[in-house]
């Protein structure tokens, strides 16, 4: 297992525009990020800017990534010759966000792009919908406002190598209450495992609900006819289907958000993906970095072997 330092996310991304807007800010960000990485013994940095809002921020994003890449390489040249510390990003699946980005230039700087192929529908919508469907449903467009295949097609057309794209998959479901089904209006989202309207996969389906599959969209969900509650989420079979899809497309693997919501044993989504990708033999092989000689912590500085 290799752990990376993730910076940003939905909550903290408002800090990126200012940090990325000047050369001094970018250098400070890169230096402090790499310092934190080596002090704690991480294998690289994962930047999650949600999301650059215009062409200026998109250009600054590339400059920021390049500055971090340069700082990682400078640290490696001094302390870990011939080792490449990883630089990865989380990237949007919504065209209103990714069409602002220079995806080709980004892909030239980073090692992997985690495509956040989820949250296609939720509390912000007017109709209940699939939150992580592979394909759109032309017969029920209100249920599939976005799709993974559409996003991936655009990324590839923009010049991103397929091997650098990692498909994100949710380990949670998004709920819709008082609805007659997919593509229909809803009222309220109800409770959740840790946030209203959001249920951990391990808590699904809810009591009284029936698990269903939408063939055209290639997505699963549950529905309770009595309570009129619908939850959109991935099942083991859907994960296996997605892995088959990403292998056909030559993608770089799968990513999940997030592990604490998974089940243990045969029902595990992460395990289903792992096995479908070939188990241990199907995983990317990268040497561990066990030496961080200038970490400020004695135990890290002494070596991780």
pLDDT band at 288 (very low <50, low <70, confident <90, very high): confident
The predicted structure's pLDDT at residue 253: 97
CA distances from 133 to 32, 63, 215, 218 (A): 38, 33, 10, 6
Q: What is the pLDDT of residue 178?
A: 99
The pLDDT value recorded for residue 281 is 83
Residue range 221-230: mean pLDDT, rounded: 99
State the pTM of this model. Answer: 0.96
Is residue 177 annotated as a catalytic residue, yes or no?
no
Q: Reply yes or no on whether the pLDDT at 305 is more than 80.
A: no
Active-site position among 50, 177, 211, 284: 50
Of 72-76, 88-92, 301-305, give the lowest mean pLDDT range. Answer: 301-305
pLDDT, tens digit (0-9, with 9 covering 90-100), for 257-272: 999 999 999 999 999 9
| Closest to 131 in 3D by CA, of 53, 255, 222, 194 | 222
- Checking if the pLDDT of 284 tops 90, the result is no
Q: What is the pLDDT of residue 282?
A: 80
CATH superfamily of 5-171+235-301: Glycosidases (3.20.20.80)
**Per-residue pLDDT tens over the stretch 105-157:** 999 999 999 999 999 999 999 999 999 999 999 999 999 999 999 999 999 99
Task: Identify the pLDDT of residue 2.
Answer: 86
pLDDT band at 254 (very low <50, low <70, confident <90, very high): very high
DSSP symbol at 127: B
Among the residue ranges 18-22, 104-108, 237-241, 299-303, the one predicted with the least confidence is: 299-303
Q: Is 112 left (phi over 0), alpha (psi -120 to 50) or beta?
A: beta
pLDDT at 190 over 90: yes
The b/e string for 17-48 (b: 16+ C-beta within 10 A; e otherwise) is bebbeeeebbeebbeebbeebbbebbbbbbbb
């Amino acid at each position: 297992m290799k752990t990376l330092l993730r910076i940003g996310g939905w909550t903290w991304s408002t800090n990126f525009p200012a940090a990325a807007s000047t050369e001094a800010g970018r250098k400070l960000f890169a230096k402090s990020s790499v310092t934190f990485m080596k002090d704690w013994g991480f294998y690289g940095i994962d930047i999650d800017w949600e999301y650059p809002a215009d062409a200026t921020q998109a250009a600054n994003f590339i400059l920021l990534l390049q500055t971090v890449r340069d700082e990682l390489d400078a640290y490696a040249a001094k302390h870990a010759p011939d080792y490449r510390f990883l630089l990865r990003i989380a990237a949007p699946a919504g065209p209103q966000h990714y069409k602002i980005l220079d995806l080709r230039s980004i892909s030239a700087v980073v090692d992997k792009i985690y495509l956040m192929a989820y949250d296609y529908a939720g509390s912000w919508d007017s109709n209940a919908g699939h939150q992580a469907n592979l394909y759109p449903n032309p017969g029920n467009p209100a249920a599939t406002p976005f799709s993974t295949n559409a996003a991936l097609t655009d990324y590839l057309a923009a010049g991103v190598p397929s091997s650098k794209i990692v498909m994100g998959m949710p380990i949670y479901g998004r709920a819709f209450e008082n609805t007659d089904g997919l593509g229909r209006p809803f009222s309220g989202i109800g409770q959740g495992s840790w946030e209203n309207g959001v249920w951990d996969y391990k808590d699904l389906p809810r009591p009284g609900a029936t698990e269903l599959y939408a063939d055209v969209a290639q997505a699963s969900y549950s529905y309770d006819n009595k309570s009129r509650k619908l939850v959109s989420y991935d099942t083991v079979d859907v994960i296996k289907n997605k892995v088959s899809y990403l292998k056909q497309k030559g993608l770089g693997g799968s990513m999940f958000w997030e592990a604490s919501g998974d089940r243990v044993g045969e029902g595990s989504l992460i395990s289903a993906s792992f096995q479908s990708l070939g188990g241990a033999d199907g995983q990317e092989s990268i040497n561990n970095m066990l030496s961080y000689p200038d970490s400020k912590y004695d135990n890290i500085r002494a070596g991780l072997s």
